[in-house]
Amino acid sequence: MESKDIPDWVRSLLDDDDNFWKTKYPIFSSEEKIKFWSGSLHRDMRWQAESGLDPYAIYNVDWYNEVKKIEPDIDFIMDEIFNRYWSSTGGQWDREEYLKRIRGVV
Q: Is residue 14, in this structure, part of any structural domain at all?
A: no
Q: Is residue 85, in this structure, part of any structural domain at all?
A: yes
- 15 or 94: which leads in pLDDT: 94
Distance, C-alpha 63 to centroid of its chain: 8
When divided into structural domains, the chain yields a total of: 1
Q: Quick check: pTM over 0.85?
A: no
For 73, list phi and psi in degrees, rounded to 5.
-95, 25
Q: Is residue 17, in this structure, part of any structural domain at all?
A: no
For residue 40, the enclosing domain spans 30-103
Q: Half-sphere exposure (CA, 13 Å, Cβ side) for 69?
A: 9
Backbone Cα Rg of the chain: 14
Residue of 105, 86, 106, 99 lying closest to 41 (CA atoms): 86
Q: How high is the pLDDT of residue 52?
A: 94
Q: Is residue 25, in this structure, part of any structural domain at all?
A: no
For 51, list phi and psi in degrees, rounded to 5.
-90, 5
Tens digits of residue pLDDT in 34-83: 999 999 998 999 899 899 999 999 999 999 999 999 899 999 999 999 98
Q: Is residue 56, in this structure, part of any structural domain at all?
A: yes
